[in-house]
Structure 1
Amino acid sequence: MTDTLDAYLAHRFDWRPVDATFMGAEGHDDRLPRTGPGAAEAELAEIEALLARVEGDSAMMASDRQMLLAELRVEQSALKTRPRHGNPAWHTGEAGFGVISLLLPQSKPWKGAAIAARLAAIPAFLKDGRAAIGTAPTPEGWVRRAQAECAALATFLRADIQLHEAWDAVWSAPAEAAARAFEDYAASLDGLPYADPSCGTAHLELVMREQHRLEFGPAEAAARARDAFDRMGAELEEMARAIDPSTPWQEQIAALSATHAADEAGVMAEVTALDAQGLEAAQGLVTPATGYALDYRFFPDWARTVSKTLYFLFYRSPPAMNPGQGSTYWVSRPGDDMAAYLAANSTAMLKTVHAVHHGSVGHHTQNARARQAPSRLGRLAGTDCVMGLAFLGSGTLIEGWACYVEDLLMEAPGFYSPAECLLLKSFERRNAASVLVDVNIHTGAWSLEEAARFYAEEAGFAPARVAGEVTRNAMFPGSRLMYWIGVEGIRDLRRRWTGTTQGFHDTLLSLGHVPLTTVAEHMGRQGMLAA
């Protein structure tokens, strides 16, 4: 008899085969997801049966059982209230990454027949997706994101894909048909009535309680974040005065962009050197992953268009079911404005965001540790899929760790300059700001316009970034609050830890991609935490 977790994965991969590709599961690479009218109802019936099975399976590992129940309960709620089949950007993302996922280095050896099959499947998939949406009111940001992705994917399929080393001329006809299908799909979305994207307080509470396993709800999360946001504003001013009393913190952070490599090659040399420095600085704080390679490469020419528009990450978690010997880390290339490129890739940004948060001891070390996790879901849940983590509940640990570890290296003497510490404090404040937007949009306290104004006028987000951030918040309730709340949770556990610093961080990462609360319970059972 198929065990319960295998039954769940069979269900997941049947409905979302692109997830299977990202996880490294075999046998699904030639298909796109099931959608169309009635799809949400059919999936809901399967979920209800799976829920009953998971609830009755006392033999499952407790952490796997809890994560499955949470995932199924939240998906059940979403399918009843705002199914992904009604989101036009879900369709464009799945169709696009159905092909792109098979062109990433982690998918070698190239599967030409599967790529051709997914290309051929795109027109019918988009037609079914459009039928699923019908004339239902749809949030404007979702429509605009889908149309932008359609334009990028049409360019990709007509030109850029031919730059990939796996390119096969037999793909030409299905690629052109898929490009036309994306254009037709984008045009068909014009005129849709717009809807409020709020998921509602009840669903957000469910996400926080079940997936993130938090003991408090949206109102308390917003209150905590507001206090922290205000407090960190004062801290930024104090830190800036200690560095240079005559220069505001915003200007001191902006000045960091003037320190950078001399050219494109220098950017690559600097980020690889900073990664090595991060590994060295972490000695005695956490055990870095050095046995699993991290290969820094420039973004490939074939991804030049889609990488600017789609959820095309610098770094993706390795496919847990087929991880190979290492991961690829994409480094951006310059456009027409070399000065802007070098400023955006300043030493401070390469160090904090790329070498530490994502590389070296950040996500890379975390993902390498997850490969040895005792829980099967602990090895899979943090997979970067089309629009985010495979299991949102793993995010308090995954994103909490990557943000926390940025600050952790302040404990390594000389690794950061005072101005770089100021930059990190601004990152933390922005994460608190995102909690406020996440909660206030989905409880109906703020309109999208109010959220955008807060990001731009109070939180200091770059104008070009605001619309995308608000759309991301609106599409994925509970996804942005996990960064700051995860950091706060890790700090609380560390205050209660009774062992060594390195022991704490190694234990924190030992269970893989699980909710932070699961780690806390493990530490408590092992007698590692003070009361």
Structure 2
Amino acid sequence: MSDAHDAARAYLKVHAQYRPVDATFMGVGGHDHQLPPAGPGSIEAELAALAALRGELGQVEAPATPAARIDARMLDAQLTTVMAEQRRAPRQRNPAWYTGEAAFGVVSLLLPGHAGEAQDTRDALRVRLEAIPAFLAHGRTHLHGRARPEDVAERARREARATAHLLTSGLPKHPLWDDSLRLPAARAARALLSFSEDLAGPDAPVACGEEHLDLLMRVTHALPFGPREALERATEAFERLTHELEARAARLPGDLPWTEHLARLEQLSPEPERMLSTYRNLHDQALDAARPLLTPAADYGLDFRFLPEWAEGTGDLYFLFYRSPAPLRPGDGSVYWVTPPGADQAAYLRANNCSFVKLVHAVHHGSIGHHTHNARARAADSVLARVAGTDCASGIALLGAGTMVEGWACYAEDLLAEAPGFYTPAEELLLLQFERRNAASCIVDIRMHLGEWTLDEARAFYRDRAHFAPARVWAETTRNAMFPASRLMYWLGTETIKALRAELNLDPKTFHDALLAHGHAPATVVADELRAAFPPGASR
């Protein structure tokens, strides 16, 4: 290894070896037929491989370029993070890890962005299906007699049932289906259902503890403070935003509370037959409105389609509307899934009201949000920043990228408030509520993992104070429990970007294009590079 980029590439080889489903989503060739190693000694083997890689870092040249510094910092943080996680709570002892990897080992090969000849992909799919029963059997061995949060086990049960449904009812409707898949799909489905029925065990608390949470914040996310300060900041912001929502609502016609203004937005929906065109039009409008503020990714397509028939019934899986294209083989465009109308049309229209489609689908995920950021990341000079934000089986590939990945997408929602007329006054209330909701998620993430709140207390806060949709609360808190420091990154990432913009005082397009050019690196790491590139007092 001669430099930080070589070291980063060496890490990705190890990452792909132990997380081959991630490799498929990244576009790393040679792993599409594999599921993760989960046999006896797999935890120890991975730790040994990571320790050997860390031992070789002493031979790497000191980084002299921004991209090399980013790779060096991200690699050091990633090695520290994964080794700490595998010693504290190995993923092989999480039942939902098995169901997530089994599900998305399959789904990753079914998505339209997957590159490769159909027969090669079908062969890889068959081999992965054949591997699922043994993979789950190894899971039983790792899980036997071990305590784990009951809600995490329940998530695994739901995922196992949803994946079994996919394999028996959905997969035969996919263009890749042929008779060679019938028997392995049936065996895999039976193994998943059996796994779901065999997850009884002692319950365990969800808190990872202050020491580990501090490591995730200061090392993984490269934040300059730990959980106590972050909790204080988020709590103050939550109360401030509550008062601001009340004050802004009082200035709108009707003398209505802010919650009623937002409820009325839910009644404004496109006709079902115009749903796809509404998504497309709002995406295009956001791209156009943002042009004075940054350079959008207009040269990489985003095709809005209804969720295909083969994917129906995957609601309990991490099946995203928008999934980042494989950065190492992105093709010339990607797909954005839109839920088709169901039996309950009123509920469907509320969930797809015009304002929610605009803020969440067209801006946060599409247009200048994840869509543009992912395009810029694929061209980044840093090896790790090109791939770190890849959506994988249960989250992004490298957690440390999250303050930039989600921080930018949330910031992008607010950014378009600077485009005259893009949002209505009521939609600006919704923006504030989204910010307030992210501060609430930061509070829950920290208080839960400090051991100050139980899952039930976290759920009561989400429901009664943060005004989360009741149907979302269980899944949200279970995700909080499984992935410490994965929800605080939204609000803290956005705050980092906002503070950096105010500090550098660049013109908007210069700032945003420079920020996005560094790809999926932690927001504070990118901030350090922008400070070096635009020092105080330099000519603007």
- TM exceeds 0.5? yes
Alignment gaps of 5+ in structure 1: none
Aligned counterpart, 2:528: 521
Aligned counterpart for 1:285 among listed residues 276, 293, 304? 293
User: Aligned partners of 2:261 and 2:537: how far apart in 1?
Assistant: 40
Partner of 2:336: helix, strand, or coil? strand
Paired position in structure 1 for 2:134 = 124
Q: Deviations over 1:74-110 (max 9, x none)?
A: 1111111111000000000001100110000111443
Could you say what the CA RMSD is over the residues aligned between the two structures, in angstroms?
1.3
Q: What is the aligned counterpart of 2:93 among 86, 93, 96? A: 86
Mapped partners of 1:288, 1:6: distance in 2: 29
1:157 aligned to 2:167? yes
Matched letter for residue 66 of structure 1: R
Query: When the two structures are aligned, how many residues end up with a matched partner?
Result: 528
In structure 1, the partner of 2:262 is: 253
User: Quick one: which of 55, 70, 75 aligns to 2:82?
Assistant: 75
Whole-angstrom CA distance in 1 between matches of 2:180 and 2:469: 43
Give the aligned partner of residue 496 of structure 1.
503
Give the superposition deviation at 1:526.
1.4
- Select 2:50's aligned residue among 32, 47, 51: 47
2:390 is aligned with 1:383: yes
| Structure 2 equivalent of residue 197 of structure 1 | 206
- Write the deviation string for residues 228-255 of structure 1: whole angstroms up to 9, x where unpaired: 0000000000111111352110011011
CA distance in 2, matches of 1:484, 1:55: 35
Deviations 1:285-314 (A, max 9, x none): 1111111111111111111012x1111111
CA distance in 2, matches of 1:475, 1:451: 14
Given the alignment, which residue of 329, 332, 336 partners 2:339? 332
Change (3 A) 1:55 1:222: farther
Identity of paired residues, percent? 50
For 1:244, the equivalent position in structure 2 comes to: 253
Structure 2 Cα separation of the partners of residues 529 and 332 of structure 1:
48
Instruction: Say which SS state the counterpart of residue 310 (structure 2) adopts.
Output: helix
Farther off after superposition, 371-380 or 18-27: 371-380
Secondary structure in 2 matching 1:499 = coil
Any stretches of 5+ residues in structure 2 without a counterpart?
none
Give the drift of 1:52: 1.8
| 2:27 paired with 1:24 | yes
Paired residue secondary structure (1:119): helix
One-letter amino acid of the structure 1 residue matched with residue 246 of structure 2: E
| 2:19/2:35 contact within 8 Å kept | yes
Name the SS of the counterpart of 1:101 in structure 2: helix
> What is the alpha-carbon distance in structure 1 between the residues aligned to residue 317 and residue 398 of structure 2?
20
Who is 1:138 aligned against?
148
Q: Say if 1:252 and 1:419, in contact at 8 Å, map to a contact too.
A: yes
What's 1:14 paired with? Answer: 17
What letter corresponds to residue 17 of structure 1 in structure 2?
P
The residue identity in structure 1 corresponding to 2:294 is: V
- Aligned partner of 1:344 among 328, 341, 351: 351
Residues 31, 117 of structure 1: 8 Å contact kept: yes
Alpha-carbon deviation of 1:133? Answer: 1.1
* 1:295 aligns to 2:295 (yes or no): no
Check whether the contact 2:463–2:469 (CA below 8 A) recurs between aligned residues.
yes
1:214-225 paired onto structure 2 within 5 Å: 214-225=223-234
Which residue of 487, 495, 498 maps to 1:480? 487
Inter-partner Cα distance in structure 2 for 1:396 and 1:289? 21
Matches of 2:275 and 2:26, distance apart in 1: 31
1:402-421 residue pairs with structure 2 within 5 A? 402-421=409-428
Alignment of 1:103 with 2:110, yes or no, is: yes
**Structure 1 CA distance, aligned partners of 2:402 and 2:61?**
25
2:58 and 2:392 map into 1 onto residues whose CA distance is 26
Instruction: Tell me the distance in 1 between the aligned counterparts of 2:248 and 2:486.
Output: 30
Q: Under a length normalisation based on structure 2, what TM-score does the superposition of the two structures give? A: 0.96
CA distance in 1, matches of 2:476, 2:8: 34
1:432-471 → structure 2 map (5 Å cutoff):
432-471=439-478
* TM-score, reference length from structure 1: 0.97
Q: Does 1:210 align with 2:213?
A: no
Contact 2:210 2:450 in 1 (8 A): yes
Contact 1:498–1:528, Cα closer than 8 Å, also in 2: no
Q: Which digits, 9 at most, give the CA deviation of each residue in 1:462-521, with x for residues without a partner?
A: 111111111111111111001000111111011112321111111110111101112111
Give the secondary structure class of the aligned counterpart of 1:401. helix
Higher deviation after alignment, 400-409 or 6-15: 6-15
8 Å CA contact 1:375, 1:511 repeated in 2? yes
Q: What is the distance in 2 between the residues matched to 1:424 and 1:72? A: 36
**Contact 1:259/1:347, CA 8 A, preserved across alignment:** yes
Contact residue 498 and residue 530 of structure 1 kept, 8 A: no
Please show how residues 353-392 of structure 1 align to structure 2 within 5 Å.
Answer: 353-392=360-399
Residue 235 of structure 2: aligned partner: 226
Q: In structure 1, the residue corresponding to 2:140 is in which secondary structure?
A: helix
Question: Any residues of structure 2 matched to 1:421-432 within 5 Å, and which?
Answer: 421-432=428-439
* Deviations 1:119-174 (CA, angstroms, capped at 9, x unpaired): 00000000001111111001111100000011111111111111111111110000
Tell me the CA shift for residue 528 of structure 1.
4.5
- CA displacement 1:164-188 (0-9 Å, x = unmatched): 1111111000000000000110111
| Contact in 1 for aligned 2:307/2:338 (Cα 8 Å) | yes
